[in-house]
Structure 1
Amino acid sequence: METKDQLKEERDKIVKGLEEAYRKLVEFKKAKNSPLVVVRNGKIVEIDPYDVPPTISYKRGQG
């Protein structure tokens, strides 16, 4: 069984990877002048990549 420290370390690596993937996605979309396609309130919408922050920090929720 893994300890809490091992789980926290693994979670931190996953979050870091998600942040890097987001950064690369926004960079790629800007380079290709292509919109980000997301689901917002159950509807598919296109977002200009220049309208989103270039980086994002994920924070662990309470609970």
Structure 2
Amino acid sequence: MHLRYKQGQEVQPMVTTPNQSLSIPPLENSDRLSLTDFERRYKAMPQVKKANHLVAGLVYMASLHC
């Protein structure tokens, strides 16, 4: 099991399945990601309708109240 730490938030466990694929964590505002990881997470979140951006490795997400 892998643990994902994010300052000020609970630990989110990531479980490896027998075929070695990992669950994909959701995009969150202020995540620091590579373009490859950003695109992988974005594609795994079809319910996200607002624009999301990766600027200098930092994720920016639109407010849910817009």
Report the TM-score range of the alignment, normalised by the length of the smaller protein.
Answer: under 0.3
Higher fraction of helix: 1
Please report the TM-score for the alignment, with normalisation by the length of structure 2.
Answer: 0.25
1 or 2 for the larger relative contact order (CA 8 Å, sep ≥6)? 1
Q: Which has the larger radius of gyration?
A: 1
